Amino acid sequence: MVIVKTAREISLMKDACRISANALRLAGEYVKPGINTWEIDEKVRKYIEKQGATPSFLGYGGFPASACISVNNVVIHGIPSKEQVLKEGDIVSVDVGAFIGGYHGDNAYTFACGKVGDNAQKLMDATRISLEKGIEAALAGNRVGDIGSAVQKYVEARSYSVVRDFVGHGVGAKLHEDPSIPNYGTAGRGVRLLPGMTIAIEPMVCEGDYEVEVLDDEWTTVTVDGKLAAHYENTVLITPDGPKILTIPG
Ligand code: MG
């Protein structure tokens, strides 16, 4: 069931989204060669808790950390670890949400660790811009397929591929609500977008093929071909005046 939020709910969502965005920006400041991903997760957890919020992902479905930290060929759901030390040239996708006042925010960004290769930079740029294209299509009266189509067209025109097995989602009192927001699809098809809907748009884009697999830890999701992947996400409010990104630091 698609949920349209009231003005009061949207105001609470804004708090959750601002804290989520600040946590993500903070994580990015720590992405440097030599740090391990557990340390970054600790910074994120402490920041969120200091705001009186709860990390949305901690314990979600049994996930053991506050942020998903996914390096290089890991697409999403990487588990932070003391053993995983970042090195120059890594691309590091951080996905983090915060829960406060009964609502969640959700956002992700792929950070460069030091100087990255040209291929990595191009993939990151294309994925970030594909998110912008998806958001631009998130107009009241449009349909979910308009978002997916906009993302997919931008990505595939650059010979990259869009992950099929994982998609964006409604977000609100629950971290994952209806409708699903695929990063592929047909314009004009699917659920209609209404003012007051809050959705997480999150392209996951692969340098090579879009096939992914989940490792034995039941979380870490990698590209089957071992090539790079990038992931950007914002929580977006549909309004009569166009899409409004809620996950903005402040
Ligand atoms: Mg999400």
Which among 177, 174, 200 is positioned nearest to 103, based on CA atoms?
A: 174
State in Å: Cα 237 to ligand 1 middle. 14
State in Å: Cα 86 to ligand 1 middle. 24
pLDDT digits (tens, 9 = 90+) for 165-219: 999 999 999 999 999 999 999 999 999 999 999 999 999 999 999 999 999 999 9
Instruction: Give the Cα separation of 199 and 138 in Å (integer).
Output: 9
State in Å: Cα 107 to ligand 1 middle. 6
State in Å: Cα 90 to ligand 1 middle. 22
Is the pLDDT score of 24 beyond 90? yes
Compute CA 69 distance to the chain's CA centroid, rounded to the nearest angstrom.
11
Instruction: Give the Cα separation of 55 and 98 in Å (integer).
Output: 5
Q: Are 45 and 57 in contact (CB under 8 A)?
A: no
State in Å: Cα 93 to ligand 1 middle. 13
Q: DSSP assignment of 26-93, as one string?
A: HHHHH--TT-BHHHHHHHHHHHHHHTT-EETTTTGGG--SSEEEEETTEEE-PPP-TT-B--TT-EEE
State in Å: Cα 169 to ligand 1 middle. 6
Structure letter (DSSP) for residue 17: H
- The first and second tokens of residue 170, run together, are 């409604």
State in Å: Cα 225 to ligand 1 middle. 24
Question: Integer distance in angstroms from the first to the last C-alpha of the chain?
Answer: 31
State in Å: Cα 1 to ligand 1 middle. 18
Beginning with the edge strand found earlier in the chain, give each strand of the sheet holding 161-162 in spatial order.
Answer: 161-162, 204-206, 229-231
pLDDT digits (tens, 9 = 90+) for 105-122: 999 999 999 999 999 999
State in Å: Cα 121 to ligand 1 middle. 23
- The first and second tokens of residue 33, run together, are 């060669």
Average pLDDT, the chain: 98
State in Å: Cα 32 to ligand 1 middle. 24
Is the pLDDT score of 146 beyond 90? yes
pLDDT digits (tens, 9 = 90+) for 214-236: 999 999 999 999 999 999 999 99
State in Å: Cα 110 to ligand 1 middle. 14
State in Å: Cα 95 to ligand 1 middle. 8
Q: Are 100 and 15 in contact (CB under 8 A)?
A: yes
State in Å: Cα 108 to ligand 1 middle. 8
State in Å: Cα 99 to ligand 1 middle. 13
Confidence of residue 14 (pLDDT cuts 50, 70, 90): very high
pLDDT digits (tens, 9 = 90+) for 89-106: 999 999 999 999 999 999
State in Å: Cα 187 to ligand 1 middle. 22
Residue with tokens 């506050």: 66
State in Å: Cα 66 to ligand 1 middle. 13
Which among 186, 194, 187 is positioned nearest to 236, based on CA atoms?
A: 194
Instruction: Give the Cα separation of 65 and 199 in Å (integer).
Output: 23
Q: Which residues pair with 170 in a beta bridge?
A: 177, 199
pLDDT of residue 1: 84
Residue with tokens 């609502």: 103
pLDDT of residue 9: 97
Instruction: Give the Cα separation of 184 and 146 in Å (integer).
Output: 9
State in Å: Cα 84 to ligand 1 middle. 23
